[in-house]
Amino acid sequence: MKTTRIISAFLFYLVRIISLFYFATTLYIIIVTSLKTTALRILENNRFAVCYPFTNKNFILGSEYNLAYIIEMVVTLAFYSLFFFGLSNVFKAFKQTKLFTCKGVFHLKAFYITNLLIAPIVFGIISIQPKEDFPYLAMIVAHAIIGIFAFFIAAIFQQGVNLQTDQDLII
């Protein structure tokens, strides 16, 4: 169990950093494109680039400079910010010394709801008139598989919380 806590602690910090990166990128793209700052460069064929802050080096390249494309990009990045934040909370539950807690069950439920409900809604809406050539159906299926596994783990955790509560009452 010690190895599990060590790996979970490492993954918690790594995935939380990834989540913050996605969130910061989302905010940065919103600011740059809505305010049309100097970090935004319009390229040929109506393409665009968002540069790294305070540089002229391209950070993100966009296929089409229009509102629908930018909204699709921002919504996708925001979703993955939420996804990785939820995943980091799942790893946080596994790094605790007391494994079966109500808070751990809550984080697992939030994670499987994100994957089973929010992901299909977000990617389903985007896939109606996609501006980017992503395999949205495959993304929905992948998130559904992740959500189903998280659902089973949440059920196991809930059973562990119930058994732990019963045992605490007996002692």
Average pLDDT over residues 6-29: 97
Asked if 40 and 32 count as a contact pair (C-beta separation under 8 A), the reply is yes
The predicted structure's pLDDT at residue 171: 57
- Supply the angle between the helices 102-113 and 67-95 in degrees, to the nearest 10: 150
Provide the sign of the torsion angle of the four alpha carbons 11, 14, 17, 19, taken in this order.
negative
The predicted structure's pLDDT at residue 40: 95
Tell me the C-alpha distance between 54 and 73, whole Å.
22
Asked if 139 and 76 count as a contact pair (C-beta separation under 8 A), the reply is no
Q: Please, which residues have CB within 8 angstroms of residue 17's CB and are 6 or more apart in sequence?
A: none
HSE at residue 41, side-chain half, CA atoms within 13 A, is 16
The predicted structure's pLDDT at residue 19: 98
Average pLDDT over residues 89-94: 94
pLDDT above 70 (res 169) = no
pLDDT above 80 (res 134) = no
Give me the sheet containing 48-51, strands edge to edge.
40-42, 48-51, 58-62
pLDDT above 80 (res 68) = yes
Q: Which band of pLDDT confidence, cut at 50, 70 and 90, is reported for residue 127?
A: confident
Whole-number mean pLDDT of the chain? 92
Asked if 75 and 22 count as a contact pair (C-beta separation under 8 A), the reply is no
Q: Which band of pLDDT confidence, cut at 50, 70 and 90, is reported for residue 98?
A: confident
Q: Which band of pLDDT confidence, cut at 50, 70 and 90, is reported for residue 158?
A: very high
Domain ranges within the chain, ordered by starting residue:
2-170
Average pLDDT over residues 37-66: 93
* Residue indicated by tokens 């979970």: 8
Q: For residue 125, give both structure tokens.
A: 């809406």
Q: Which band of pLDDT confidence, cut at 50, 70 and 90, is reported for residue 1?
A: confident
pTM assigned to the model: 0.89
Tell me the C-alpha distance between 106 and 159, whole Å.
13
* Residue indicated by tokens 């319009």: 42
pLDDT above 80 (res 170) = no
The predicted structure's pLDDT at residue 133: 75
Tell me the C-alpha distance between 77 and 16, whole Å.
15
Asked if 68 and 129 count as a contact pair (C-beta separation under 8 A), the reply is yes
